A and B are shown apart, each in its own frame.
Chain A
Amino acid sequence: MGNKRNVRNFCIIAHIDHGKSTLADRLMERTGQVSERDMEAQLLDSMDIERERGITIKLTPVRMFYKAGDGQEYEFNLIDTPGHVDFTYEVSRSLAACEGAILIVDASQGVEAQTLANVYLALENNLEILPVINKVDLPSARPEEAKKEIEEVIGLDASYAPLVSAKEGLNIEEVLEDIVKYFPAPSGDDTAPLKALIFDSYYDNYKGVILFVRIKDGSVKAGDKIKTFRSSQIYDVVETGVFSPGLTPKNGLFAGDVGYIAASIKSIQDVAVGDTVINAVNPATEPLPGYKQVQSVVFCGIYPLDGSRFNDLKDAILKLQLNDASLIFEPDSSVALGFGFRCGFLGLLHMEIIQERIEREFGLEIITTAPSVSYKVVKTDGEEIFVDNPSHLPPVSEIEHMEEPIVKADIYSPPDYLGQIMDLCREKRGVFLQMTYLDKSRVRLEYNLPLNEIIFDFFDAVKSRTRGYASFDYELIGYERSKLVKLDILLNGEVCDALSMIVHEDSAYTRGRTLCENLKEAIPRQLFEVPVQAAIGGKIIARETVKAVRKDVLAKCYGGDITRKKKLLEKQKEGKKRMRQIGNVEVPSEVFMQILKTNKD
């Protein structure tokens, strides 16, 4: 490999919507990586869902060449990062593959929760940070204040931060020059044993798993035997290459390079993100730091709407898992919903994305149960188990106590909404830690909150109570003992297992009542009266009644009405196909999703 001094590996970090993907697109355009004509809105976000939601889920590195003001040509490797708290670990691994990070701050919004979370991650990975003030073309832009916030809140010198508009292409040149100027070239020893950091991977139908790597030391080329530090399996390297963008074969990757390795790896589960690729013949003795086993945070049941499509659902989940090692699942069955899967996710967004992808990419209609977290159950015999599925909870008599996962939450908000946020956190059993005024217009609130309180609608509630001004981020910090109970829902006297949930004792009554009220609205009237009850143990704590239907007839049915009436009944029948029979009650599948909305604000 040529001159490492002319290589810059960097990523872009930002709060959601601050313009990360737009800036990336602009950099690619300016370096001639893509012509303007080929620009589909936001190149890096290639999944439909990514583009629609304006978020990045899957990492897409890209290599660019830039002729700098000093007359030399530089190779830039831009590693995109997912922009959501669910993917913090993935972000930290892609940061670890870089020497520098461009920190984008929206000129009108200033520093937000994820800005800070990402900066900390970058600092942990010893990255050089280049602040960039974006969206300076907006009338509401206040670049000087944004700079001041960066200096005061983050403690970075922002005086030299370029003021850009990625959308308008303003001052992009300055960013490119700063990349050359401020980011260090990669170091590393080409002759040392191979150490390559896996920062992402995906499954290719022909080549097997493609590893996205940053070579820290040594080199790798086709024909080499490699293995990962945490697995004994040895693979033959078939191909190596770089991203420009898209996979471009290039034989041999050397220290400092960002590229990919294809080695006929069958399963993505065997090569975890964060693991170190080493040479099997001449193995390095120490792995790269920072590897963590990814753990599911949120769980839910996924069932096919049409029970006969269980196998299709299985195929879909298996295919998604090929590209998503953090998606875990196991077969599950429910009295109400039949056969399906219990799935674990990195967070709520991850869950939503998977659900959406199953529906969109595989054309499957699914029913999902309420999300749950993993509880630690300490049994009376001393055994500790983790339970994420309410119906797997041992009988009350066998439970000594239960513990629930706790997160530390950071909320950034204008001071006007402090009251609302504190009320919300109190409602959600939050424990106040501290409050810091960042400047006149921004306060940082720190809380410990039970994870199960924030997986439902906390994020929406924060946004709605602060008119969208507040931002929120969290990290898991551990388990705490808590008074948890299993809340069951009975329809016409029968427990509906798919609607059971684990809740805190104090909120059980409210939640039971709200659930019954919601269900009363959501369950269509049947030929008989249906009691909807919430119960803890054997005790009924709330009840609503779905009244019996009393009028359900077409008044007139003569010669000309027959077709219409037939169509009406066919439609009604079609609707019934979307219903699940619980005891003798017919419940529309949507109900299982509607109950997630427990608060009527």
Chain B
Amino acid sequence: MAGIYIHIPFCKSKCSYCDFTSFPDKLCYAESYMACVYREMAMREKELSNYIFDTVYIGGGTPSVIDEKYIAMLIAAVKKHFKLADNSEITIEINPGTVSAGKIALYEKCGINRYSVGLQTAVDGQLADIGRVHNLKDYLNCAKLLKGKNFSADVMIGLKNQNIADIEYTISVAAKSGASHISMYALTPEDGTPVYTDYLNGELPDGDEVAEMYAAGVKKLASFGFERYEVSNFCKKGMESRHNLNYWRRGEYIGFGVAASSCINDTRVTNTFDLDEYFKCILSGHFAVINSEKIDKRGQEEEFIMLALRTSEGLNLKRYAELFGEDFSVKYSRQIKKVQEYVEVNEISFKIKSRFLFVQNSIIVEFFNAV
């Protein structure tokens, strides 16, 4: 399995929790930027000629904020430079405030078959508070446009003034709007973002409260038939995001665009976070890489464990043995014993019991080496 990620670093305005690479005031560069992305793909074409990619994910930023023709050209470029599997999953992230019937129609036409919609919360006051450009009505309109299509809705927990009822309500709205997949993320107050100030001021729900919200959310999601397949991801049967599952199974992926990250051949490469620098590199025919790290066997193993244990399927023992040539339950017998109350082991997999998924770091860390 291998996936392609394309980063679109533009948006209408910056949300108060956002620390991703996105530039609300640089939309005018979209055309030049996309030209660079096409060019970056061309630069990687030869190296990746043996790969067949199963998924494409256009993320951001807000990919839907730029003119849809660039997206069409982007998909065309992907198909020109790389081999895509016949049934490949092609996802685009969209903001409910920036879509139209025309946009969706064009997306559809060029082969996009999955949408990830940033609902975040169905409570308008909270949407305004976190600086989203849309409101509930926008979301419902958007969902109407996506009716019958495969789409996911993002829901956030741990927002200022949010309570469990708000979360349950938001989940109902998302479920009833026809989403086949819901991601429920706990707000992470990153240093430098406006919500970090809220966090410092003690205005955000604390860890225990967020844990309550999460538990309530999981329950509510289940009531609508959404099953958890990763700590923050829930879906109707068979509707998992294949692109993201690939990350958690430690598959290979190639990223294009500013801040994009790739992992091919156990080398993780990160592009620059600086838009100008990205332009300069690509236009002068160089990769825009700021960091490249060859991951050693130990690192690969740690990543494999830490990613697998995020998921409900857990760590596949056979796959582990294939990759690392050892029996997981033998090699880690001491660690497994230490955390035995919190995990489930059978012939197929080793996984964290579902009620401990939200405290997984404390469990996973046992399998790590100190730096």
Given the complex, which residues of B lie within 8 Å of A566, measured CB to CB? 299, 302-303, 306
Contact of A559 among B253, B302, B362, B371 (CB under 8 A): B253
> Chain A's nearest CB lies how many Å from the CB of B98?
22
Q: Does B255 contact A (CB under 8 A)?
A: yes
Docked Cα-Cα span, A557 to B311, in Å, equals 11
Contact of A551 among B3, B210, B263 (CB under 8 A): B210
> Chain A's nearest CB lies how many Å from the CB of B118?
13
Docked Cα-Cα span, A229 to B211, in Å, equals 73
Quick one: CB contact mask for A550-562 with B, threshold 8 Å, 1 for yes?
A: 1111111111101
Q: Does B170 contact A (CB under 8 A)?
A: no
Given the complex, which residues of B lie within 8 Å of A577, measured CB to CB? 370
Given the complex, which residues of A lie within 8 Å of B150, measured CB to CB? none
Residues B280-326 near A (CB distance < 8 A): 293, 299, 302-303, 306-307, 310
A555 x B232 contact (CB < 8 A): yes
A562 x B263 contact (CB < 8 A): yes
Surface stretch bound by B, among A169-177, A481-489, A568-576:
A568-576
Given the complex, which residues of B lie within 8 Å of A549, measured CB to CB? 207, 359, 362
A569 x B185 contact (CB < 8 A): no
Given the complex, which residues of A lie within 8 Å of B310, measured CB to CB? 557
Residue of A nearest to B5 (CB): A559
Given the complex, which residues of B lie within 8 Å of A563, measured CB to CB? 261, 268, 270, 293
Contact of A570 among B263, B363, B370 (CB under 8 A): B370
Residue of B nearest to A526 (CB): B362
B360 x A553 contact (CB < 8 A): yes
A570 x B371 contact (CB < 8 A): yes
A560-B260, A569-B365 known; A555+B185 contact, CB < 8 A: yes
A569 x B306 contact (CB < 8 A): yes
Q: Give the total of A residues in contact with B, Cβ under 8 Å.
A: 29
Given the complex, which residues of A lie within 8 Å of B253, measured CB to CB? 559
Q: Does B51 contact A (CB under 8 A)?
A: no
Q: Does B357 contact A (CB under 8 A)?
A: yes
Q: Does A527 contact B (CB under 8 A)?
A: yes
Q: Give the total of B residues in contact with A, Cβ under 8 Å.
A: 48
Q: Does A30 contact B (CB under 8 A)?
A: no
Residue of A nearest to B21 (CB): A560
Most B Cβ at <10 Å: residue of A547, A559, A566? A559
> Chain A's nearest CB lies how many Å from the CB of B368?
4
Given the complex, which residues of B lie within 8 Å of A574, measured CB to CB? 370-371
Q: Does A376 contact B (CB under 8 A)?
A: no
> Chain B's nearest CB lies how many Å from the CB of A331?
28
A558 x B247 contact (CB < 8 A): yes
Given the complex, which residues of A lie within 8 Å of B302, measured CB to CB? 566, 569
Q: Does B161 contact A (CB under 8 A)?
A: no
Q: Does A565 contact B (CB under 8 A)?
A: yes
B363 x A527 contact (CB < 8 A): yes
Contact of B360 among A552, A571, A573, A576 (CB under 8 A): A552
Given the complex, which residues of A lie within 8 Å of B211, measured CB to CB? 550-551
Given the complex, which residues of B lie within 8 Å of A527, measured CB to CB? 341-342, 356, 359, 362-363
Residue of A nearest to B261 (CB): A560
Residue of A nearest to B356 (CB): A527
Residues B352-369 near A (CB distance < 8 A): 356-365, 368-369
Contact of A554 among B188, B214, B369 (CB under 8 A): B188
> Chain B's nearest CB lies how many Å from the CB of A530?
13
Q: Does B77 contact A (CB under 8 A)?
A: no
Given the complex, which residues of A lie within 8 Å of B363, measured CB to CB? 527
Most B Cβ at <10 Å: residue of A527, A550, A577? A550
A573 x B307 contact (CB < 8 A): no
A566-B302, A568-B361 known; A553+B356 contact, CB < 8 A: no
> Chain B's nearest CB lies how many Å from the CB of A584?
8
> Chain B's nearest CB lies how many Å from the CB of A571?
7
Q: Does B34 contact A (CB under 8 A)?
A: no
Docked Cα-Cα span, A573 to B368, in Å, equals 7
Contact of B364 among A555, A556, A559, A569 (CB under 8 A): A569
B247 x A562 contact (CB < 8 A): yes
Residue of B nearest to A550 (CB): B211
Docked Cα-Cα span, A571 to B369, in Å, equals 10
Q: Does B218 contact A (CB under 8 A)?
A: no
A559 x B188 contact (CB < 8 A): no
Docked Cα-Cα span, A571 to B342, in Å, equals 22
Residues B184-199 near A (CB distance < 8 A): 185-188
A576 x B207 contact (CB < 8 A): no
Given the complex, which residues of A lie within 8 Å of B259, measured CB to CB? 560
A557 x B307 contact (CB < 8 A): yes
Given the complex, which residues of B lie within 8 Å of A572, measured CB to CB? 361-362, 365, 368
B255 x A551 contact (CB < 8 A): no
Given the complex, which residues of A lie within 8 Å of B359, measured CB to CB? 527, 549-553
Q: Does B244 contact A (CB under 8 A)?
A: yes
Residues B138-172 near A (CB distance < 8 A): none
Given the complex, which residues of B lie within 8 Å of A526, measured CB to CB? 362
> Chain B's nearest CB lies how many Å from the CB of A558?
5
B261 x A559 contact (CB < 8 A): yes
Q: Does B231 contact A (CB under 8 A)?
A: yes
Contact of B208 among A528, A550, A565, A571 (CB under 8 A): A550
> Chain B's nearest CB lies how many Å from the CB of A455?
35
B362 x A552 contact (CB < 8 A): yes
B208 x A551 contact (CB < 8 A): yes
> Chain B's nearest CB lies how many Å from the CB of A240?
54
A553 x B261 contact (CB < 8 A): no
Known: A550-B359, A574-B370. 20 other contacts (CB 8 A): A527-B342, A551-B359, A552-B360, A553-B358, A555-B232, A556-B188, A556-B232, A557-B310, A558-B247, A559-B263, A560-B261, A562-B247, A562-B303, A562-B307, A563-B268, A563-B293, A566-B299, A569-B361, A571-B371, A573-B370
Between-chain CB contacts (< 8 Å), 15 pairs: A527-B342, A547-B208, A551-B210, A552-B207, A553-B358, A553-B359, A555-B231, A562-B247, A562-B261, A565-B306, A568-B361, A569-B361, A570-B371, A574-B370, A576-B370
Q: Which residues of B contact A (CB under 8 A)?
A: 3, 5, 185-188, 207-208, 210-211, 214, 231-232, 244, 247-248, 253, 255, 259-263, 268, 270, 293, 299, 302-303, 306-307, 310, 341-342, 356-365, 368-371
